[in-house]
Chains A and B, each alone.
Chain A
Amino acid sequence: MSADPITEERAPYAPSERRLAREAYRRSRTRRSALIATASTLGVAAVLFLVITGSPGWPVTRKTFLDPHYAREALSPVLHGFVLNLELLAVCGPTILVLGLLIAAARTLRGPVFLPVRLLATAYVDFFRGFPLIILLLLTVFGVPALQLQGVTNDPILLGGAALVINYSAYVAEVFRAGIESVHPSQRAAARSLGLGYAQTMRFVVLPQAVRRVVPALVNDMASLQKDTGLVYVGGAIDAVAAAHIQVASSFNYTPLVVAGLGFVILTIPMTRYADWLTRRMDRRRAQGGIV
């Protein structure tokens, strides 16, 4: 043990043999994992391909569900229908998030004064979370016009959108509530002891943490909403699903439905990737660089 390990100038750093060997080993591990992943993926794909194309009904199935001619023909009307799905998503999505947050906040209000609000919010969530969406859609789209109310729209798109908002905000409210309740009580105590009021505590301390935690769940609900916008076709609105149906009805070939289905998948992928990215970014911020 030398008394003074470094009195003289240190040599500039150069990676040691050991480091280079380790890096080479890690690289070879990465290569190996990539190789295994590719091989197993190809293997599974090959097996699936053989099983499906080898099945006795394959030629007929392919003609009925995967006919390129019908696919091309359906493309334009289906894409046209998708505009409606996207419009519904663009309007209903934000409305649902805001409404859900308000309901969740109402459910967490403390104090006897707020009892009615709390009860109402709870009843709303309990009821609409249990009520099947398709029945709710049918009831709004056909029931509301039957009431013949003055000044209330009969537009199946607006009514269908309203049904989606009513149903989904009940779900989203529960997601927000779970987030709010997952914030440790000591955080509220810390905020209140700074002199922040209830609303300020929620706004500046609790909600930012709560929302961050539930982002993946919310994106999940939005992806699900995106698909469920297709249900408005029950009221006669021509969205992508309805457009595909019309094609099917005239040709008895189901390829247009497959096209529409794939369209929904393609729309959902960016959203799920975005959610993954958000989650990863938040994890990184929390993990403080540790591997754990």
Chain B
Amino acid sequence: MTVTAPVLRFESVRKAFGEQVILDDVSLEVPEHSVTVLIGASGSGKSTLLRCANLLEEIDDGAIWLDGEDVTDPRVDADAVRRRIGVVFQAYNLFPHLTVLDNITLGPRRVHRLPRAEAERRALELLDRLGLAAKAGEYPDRLSGGQQQRVALVRAIVSEPRVLLLDEITAALDPELVTEVLAVVRDLKEQGRTMVLATHEMAFARDVADQVCFLADGVILERGTSEQVFGDPQHERTRRFLSRLSEAGRL
């Protein structure tokens, strides 16, 4: 891992929904060209943390820094921030009224003002790399779940975001399609993209993560390389979480 300024930095982030405090005091640095994996029980706030980074939720306290800029400052233009962040959610959220190609080129053309030809060239190149070039003219409804999720990935990276946030992108897929999508994520890691992903796929997390964070009680209870967190967890809660998973055969 190269030692550069972090692309994304969470500083004592706090987020509550009403009385319920979801994130209490979360601090985390995401270095450039690294993959950070968030693990933790359902409801521990992984999705909330990612939504906060994308400014879909307003944090209550603390700050989130993107390339050294405090993006949670109310003076900051949220749209400009989101332009620099790519996001893929569990439900692929492709636009059903647009073809695959138009789904992908919508952002580059309308937000980044790329000419149509250039946007389509980039889109087709990425689609081709994922073996989806033949589907460019199809509507999302006619693709399999795995194909849709890969299109969503292409849509997220086509504008070259500084960081990619992936929230349980394989949760809706069967094992074969999971492999297909995770191969793409691995490929993206090879290309040196900076990513933060929340997942329940522990084997994959272990394999792809430069940094693993275990979320519980509104804080990052444990953080380290995958060898550290999976091989030698320091915290009792982490040990229990991991042993429950291995009992369920998911480790």
Contact = CB atoms under 8 A, between A and B. Distances in A.
A binds B: yes
Interface of A: 1, 3-6, 10, 13, 15-16, 18-19, 22, 25-26, 29, 289-292
A291 B55 contact: yes
Interface string B43-79: 0000000010001111011110000000011110010
Contacts of B61: 13, 15-16, 18-19
Interface stretch (B115-123, B152-160, B194-202, B218-226): B218-226
A292 B74 contact: no
Interface of B: 12, 14, 17, 21, 24-25, 27, 29, 51, 55-58, 60-63, 72-75, 78, 219-224, 228, 234-235
A37 B63 CA distance: 31
A59 to B, nearest CB: 52
A281 B58 CA distance: 20
A29 B75 CA distance: 10
A102 to B, nearest CB: 30
Contacts of B12: 16
Contacts of B73: 22
Task: Count chain A CB atoms within 10 A of each CB in B61, B219, B228 and give the residue with the most.
Answer: B61
A1 B3 CA distance: 13
A4 B24 contact: no
Contact of B57 (A25, A26, A290): A290
Contacts of A3: 224, 228, 234
B62 A10 contact: no
A10 B25 contact: yes
Nearest to A287: B56
Contacts of B221: 5-6
B223 A1 contact: yes
Contact of B235 (A4, A26, A29): A4
